[in-house]
Amino acid sequence: MSKPHVLLLGDITHAKAEWEALSDVATLSICDSGNREQFIKDLKGKYSDVVAVFRTFKSVGITGRIDAELIKEFPPTLKFVCHNGAGYDQIDVEPCSAAGIQISNCPSTVDDATADVNMMLILGALRNFNQAAVGLRRGEWNSTTPLANDPEGKLLGIVGMGGIGRAVKRRAEAFGMTVQYYNRRELSPELSAGAKYVSFDELLATSDVISLNLPLNANTRHTINKAAFDKMKDGVVIANTARGAVMDEAALVEALESGKVKSCGLDVFENEPTIHEGLLKNEKVMLLPHVGTLTYETQKKMEVQVIDNIRAAITSAKVNTLVPEQVAAGIF
Ligand SMILES: O=C(O)C(=O)CO
């Protein structure tokens, strides 16, 4: 009997041996379709018996979004989409669920590396490190660096208290910050570990620093918009390592220009890799090119986690880390 067909969409760099070891339970192939149109043709041909896919964030450049239109073209055998990343906003969950397709992501493996970058952005924004760094390169030493603020004693509001949010909390507390959070649901005392649960409006109105750690989906797009900025304290500091589109970038640029937002640190952008001109030219903004999980250790852990999901899908018909919407729906 032939083994189930598993397709790789994108690249595996660090866990090649683990990928190859999957061949004990699956027939492996690597997608060579050049674009979405060709991929759809190949789904009717050489990929017509695929059962599970390992997909990377960058593979959206080949297939486009995994949306209702693409899912209609999937062969009936394809029942598992295993995504390499915490954020799975490139995959439309509802049509997958309707077609009986399980989706897995990479929770927990990304938490520490992303929270490290997040904390660095909070510190960088509070301490005006971008202005200091560009001033140095212009030969101004620290004469043009405005006096900064300490993290010690500041109130940090975390929007989205999942694994990354909680890892940011632990780091922020080590720097003397007090943490409050807003989340769809209040966490258990073990998970919130002393952070106060507040309403979204209270978080906006009282936080000195706001950290965005919520997933992007249809409900969270532009969670931070003009109305939200208007509710914030004057001179608030913002960090975002989640997804650019949880914040209205044009409204952020205005809020920076008006001084409502004192400074911010961003690893993600609404239309990345394109960045709003108003952010590029504003030296108060610390910018990183979506490097949250880009460490050797974390990339390897993520690839292995996806491979483990594929193995579980093949051997027990259930991925290990089903996305929360599908867990909540109780359909698998
Ligand atoms: O894992 C993800 O979703 C990322 O965006 C990596 O930074």
Other CB atoms within 10 A of residue 66 CB: 25
The Å distance, Cα 241 to ligand 1 centre, comes to 8
Give the dihedral sign, CA 137/138/143/144: negative
CB of 85 closer than 6 A to ligand 1? Answer: yes
C-alpha span between 67 and 329 (Å, rounded): 19
Q: Give catalytic residue positions.
A: 243, 272, 290
Kindly state the DSSP code that residue 25 receives in the 8-state scheme: T
What pLDDT, on the 0 to 100 scale, is given for residue 271? 96
DSSP 49-115: TEEEEEEEGGGHHHH--B-HHHHHHS-TT--EEEEESS--TTB-HHHHHHTT-EEE--TTTTHHHHH
Which ligand 1 atom minimizes the distance to the CA of 242? 5
C-alpha span between 226 and 36 (Å, rounded): 36
CB of 91 closer than 6 A to ligand 1? Answer: no
Which residues are bridge partners to 236 per DSSP? 261
The Å distance, Cα 45 to ligand 1 centre, comes to 32
CB of 240 closer than 6 A to ligand 1? Answer: no
Kindly state the DSSP code that residue 4 receives in the 8-state scheme: P
Provide the token pair at 101: 């397709």
- Per-residue confidence of the chain (332 residues) as pLDDT tens digits? 799 999 999 999 999 999 999 999 999 999 999 999 999 999 999 999 999 999 999 999 999 999 999 999 999 999 999 999 999 999 999 999 999 999 999 999 999 999 999 999 999 999 999 999 999 999 999 999 999 999 999 999 999 999 999 999 999 999 999 999 999 999 999 999 999 999 999 999 999 999 999 999 999 999 999 999 999 999 999 999 999 999 999 999 999 999 999 999 999 999 999 999 999 999 999 999 999 999 999 999 999 999 999 999 999 999 999 999 999 999 99
Provide the token pair at 86: 């915490």
Other CB atoms within 10 A of residue 123 CB: 21
CB of 215 closer than 6 A to ligand 1? Answer: no
C-alpha span between 145 and 128 (Å, rounded): 7
C-alpha span between 6 and 25 (Å, rounded): 10
Which ligand 1 atom minimizes the distance to the CA of 114? 7
What pLDDT, on the 0 to 100 scale, is given for residue 165? 98
Rg of the chain (C-alpha set): 21
The Å distance, Cα 85 to ligand 1 centre, comes to 5
For residue 223, give the 3-state DSSP assignment: coil
Residues of the chain with CATH 3.40.50.720: 5-108+297-329, 111-287
Which residues are bridge partners to 238 per DSSP? 210, 264
CB of 163 closer than 6 A to ligand 1? Answer: no
Provide the token pair at 189: 């005392």
What pLDDT, on the 0 to 100 scale, is given for residue 13? 97
Contacts of 24 (CB under 8 A, 6+ apart): none
The Å distance, Cα 142 to ligand 1 centre, comes to 34
Fold annotation for 111-287: Rossmann fold (3.40.50)
C-alpha span between 72 and 221 (Å, rounded): 25
CB of 86 closer than 6 A to ligand 1? Answer: yes
What pLDDT, on the 0 to 100 scale, is given for residue 189? 98
What Å distances lie between residue 149 and 4, 237, 331, CA to CA? 57, 10, 49
Ligand 1 atom 5: residue of nearest CA: 87
C-alpha span between 114 and 123 (Å, rounded): 14
Class of domain 5-108+297-329: alpha beta
Contacts of 46 (CB under 8 A, 6+ apart): 29
What pLDDT, on the 0 to 100 scale, is given for residue 1? 74
CB of 110 closer than 6 A to ligand 1? Answer: yes
Which ligand 1 atom minimizes the distance to the CA of 241? 7
Contacts of 195 (CB under 8 A, 6+ apart): 158, 161, 169, 179, 180, 181
Other CB atoms within 10 A of residue 68 CB: 13
Residue written as token pair 């910050």: 177
Cα 218 from chain centre: 15
Helical axes 129-137 vs 111-126, angle rounded to 10°: 70
